[in-house]
Amino acid sequence: MRRRTLAVLTSLALIAVAWTAASPPAAAENRVTPGSFTGFGFDQCDAPTQQKMDRWLTHSPFTGVGIYISGKSRACREQPNLTPTWVRTQLKRGWRLLPIALGPQAGCHPKYPRHGDDPKIDQSPGADGGYRKARRMGAEEATRTVRDAERLGIAKRSTLWYDLEGFDITNRHCRESALRFLSSWVSNVKRLGYATGVYSSASSGIKMLDDARIKQTPGIVLPGYIWIARWDGKANTSTSHISEKGWRPGRRMKQYLGPHDATHGGVTINIDRNFLDLGRGSVAPAEPKHCGGVKINWWVYPTLAAGERDEPGKVRALQCLLREKKLYDGRLHGVYNRTTISAARAWQKRVGMTPTATWNHRHWMSLLASGRWQILKYGSAGAPVRRLQRTLNAAGAGELDITGVFTSPTMHALRRWQKRVGQPTTGTAYNQTWSLLVRGRS
């Protein structure tokens, strides 16, 4: 009896090991992607190598990246770099992933099937005119898409995108079967725990979806998000092909530039460019009050000399910032006196500057930039962006409102400063940027 029990336990253990090995990687550790974000992204058929991703993270304007994870009709079926480890690494480093499926395409598309074994959407309406075969194909493709997403560790509630390449929407059966296919795909992906988006050309697939939205076509389930292909060179989410009302606010992306070579940090990738406006967009949380309400945000940070008294409040701002660094414990009286100068000299010494009684723009920069270094670019939001904005003001690179959101004014100010100090004008703040800012380079 003991041997039999041991054998049963051994068998159960082997089954458990086999089940664990066959199961997809846990996605719980990965964050939902892409989340709320307003900014730039790129897509490229083959997932780039880690070296390329790291280089572009620090040198490119992009934060979003499209990856083809599923579908027999995609050109890049092999995807040698696309693994659960690759996905986990990009998410941890701050990339917003856009997982794409490119499965069955419109039945009238002349360039598909691409490989011979990738079926097109069945265009037959059936006896009841309900395009049941197309709907069934959509449901099956949804299962495959979710299965492939789970294998890569893409977390539930992340948005999965279906790529329906442009086709002739004047062909009734082609259009109606494609619409039912997408409706079924959307419905089943949602049922399996993911959010849904559809990529297509503005004048075909996207117009088809928008027409169904306006007409409220019975039985059609629309995607939560749309990804508009319109190569007009405009980094926004608008197109004249559809109404401005649909999928607003925060439910649109636009591919505004088609395939081209782009080089950042010495690394060239052939990409499409996209502008994302998803969820709540890039939003910075409210900033806690400094020293009970002392104003530290200014367009200009002047030089302070011994005996300087506050007119606009800059000395009080310095005293407050030095107090936050635990270097000043006096009153916030707004006089640049001996106690304040002593604290200022202590800061100068701490960061490797020559201690002096005069407090100039280099010292302001150093103090304002201090803190955790973080990669910042268009679309970043939060306290580090505020630090960067204040520091650029102190450097005389701009007169930025301290919003905590990295938008065009911050990018242009950063580029001006980078050009001035002889750095690559990437418009991205990374380790070398912070190092120079803390040293007061201007």
Report pLDDT digits (tens) over 391-436: 999 999 999 999 999 999 999 999 999 999 999 999 999 999 999 9
Residue 271 sits in the same domain as residue 319: no
Residue 4 has pLDDT above 50, yes or no: no
Q: What is the mean pLDDT of the segment spanning 31-40? A: 97
Q: Is residue 336 part of a domain?
A: yes
Q: Is residue 20 part of a domain?
A: no
Q: What is the mean pLDDT of the segment spanning 12-33? A: 53
Q: Is residue 9 part of a domain?
A: no
Q: What is the mean pLDDT of the segment spanning 352-366? A: 97
Q: Given this model, what pLDDT does residue 378 score? A: 98
- Separation between Cα atoms, residue 442 and residue 435, nearest integer Å: 12
Chain CA centroid to CA 40, Å: 7
Q: What is the mean pLDDT of the segment spanning 375-386? A: 98
Residue 253 sits in the same domain as residue 119: yes
Residue 189 sits in the same domain as residue 326: no
Q: What is the mean pLDDT of the segment spanning 211-227? A: 97
- Closest to 46 (Cα-Cα) out of 86, 89, 78: 78
Residue 10 has pLDDT above 50, yes or no: no
More confident residue, 128 or 19: 128
Last residue of some domain: 232, 261, 278?
A: 278
Q: Given this model, what pLDDT does residue 231 score? A: 98
Q: Are 225 and 187 in contact (CB under 8 A)?
A: no
Q: What is the mean pLDDT of the segment spanning 150-173? A: 98
What tokens does 402 get? 């301290």
Q: Given this model, what pLDDT does residue 27 score? A: 54
Residue 185 sits in the same domain as residue 247: yes
Q: Given this model, what pLDDT does residue 241 score? A: 97
**Is the preceding peptide bond at 34 cis, omega within 30 degrees of 0?**
yes
What tokens does 341 get? 């100068």
Residue 272 sits in the same domain as residue 325: no
- Separation between Cα atoms, residue 378 and residue 241, nearest integer Å: 27
Residue 330 has pLDDT above 90, yes or no: yes
Q: Which CATH number do you get for residue 433?
A: 1.10.101.10
Residue 211 sits in the same domain as residue 331: no
Structural domain of residue 322, as residue ranges?
314-438
Residue 20 has pLDDT above 70, yes or no: no
Q: Which CATH number do you get for residue 73?
A: 3.20.20.80
Residue 22 has pLDDT above 50, yes or no: no
Q: Given this model, what pLDDT does residue 309 score? A: 82
Q: Given this model, what pLDDT does residue 9 score? A: 36
- Separation between Cα atoms, residue 99 and residue 70, nearest integer Å: 8
Residue 285 has pLDDT above 50, yes or no: yes
- Separation between Cα atoms, residue 236 and residue 36, nearest integer Å: 16
Q: Is residue 306 part of a domain?
A: no
Q: What is the DSSP letter of 353?
A: P
Q: Given this model, what pLDDT does residue 332 score? A: 95
Residue 231 sits in the same domain as residue 154: yes
The string of DSSP letters for 191-246 reads HTT-EEEEEEETTTHHHHHHHHHHHT-TTPPPPSEEEEE--SS--SS--TTS-SST
Could you give the number of structural domains in the chain? 2
Residue 246 sits in the same domain as residue 394: no
Instruction: Give the mean pLDDT of the chain.
Output: 93
Q: What is the mean pLDDT of the segment spanning 35-48? A: 97
- Separation between Cα atoms, residue 59 and residue 265, nearest integer Å: 5
CB neighbour burial string for 143-178, b if at least 16 within 10 angstroms, e if fewer: eebbebbbbbbbbeebbbbbbbbbbebebebbbbbb
More confident residue, 294 or 9: 294
Q: Is residue 199 part of a domain?
A: yes
Q: Is residue 2 part of a domain?
A: no
Q: Helix 132-151 crosses helix 172-191 at what angle (to 10 degrees)? A: 40
Whose structure tokens read 């052939």? 270
Residue 337 sits in the same domain as residue 262: no
Q: Given this model, what pLDDT does residue 311 score? A: 67
Instruction: For residue range 86-95, list pLDDT tens digits in order.
Output: 999 999 999 9
Q: What is the mean pLDDT of the segment spanning 277-288? A: 96
Q: Is residue 294 part of a domain?
A: no
Residue 272 sits in the same domain as residue 318: no
Last residue of some domain: 234, 256, 278?
A: 278
Q: Given this model, what pLDDT does residue 28 score? A: 58
Which of 7-21, 122-136, 240-254, 275-289 shows the lowest per-residue confidence on average (mean pLDDT)? 7-21
Percent of the chain topping pLDDT 90: 92
Cβ-in-10-Å burial (0-12, 13-18, 19+) of 83 comes to middle
Last residue of some domain: 251, 278, 305?
A: 278
Q: Helix 361-369 crosses helix 338-350 at what angle (to 10 degrees)? A: 70
Residue 199 sits in the same domain as residue 243: yes
Residue 270 sits in the same domain as residue 326: no
Whose structure tokens read 């499926």? 101
Q: Is residue 284 part of a domain?
A: no
Q: Given this model, what pLDDT does residue 324 score? A: 97
Residue 56 has pLDDT above 50, yes or no: yes
- Separation between Cα atoms, residue 81 and residue 90, nearest integer Å: 12
Residue 107 has pLDDT above 70, yes or no: yes
Reported as a pLDDT band with limits 50, 70 and 90, residue 149 is very high
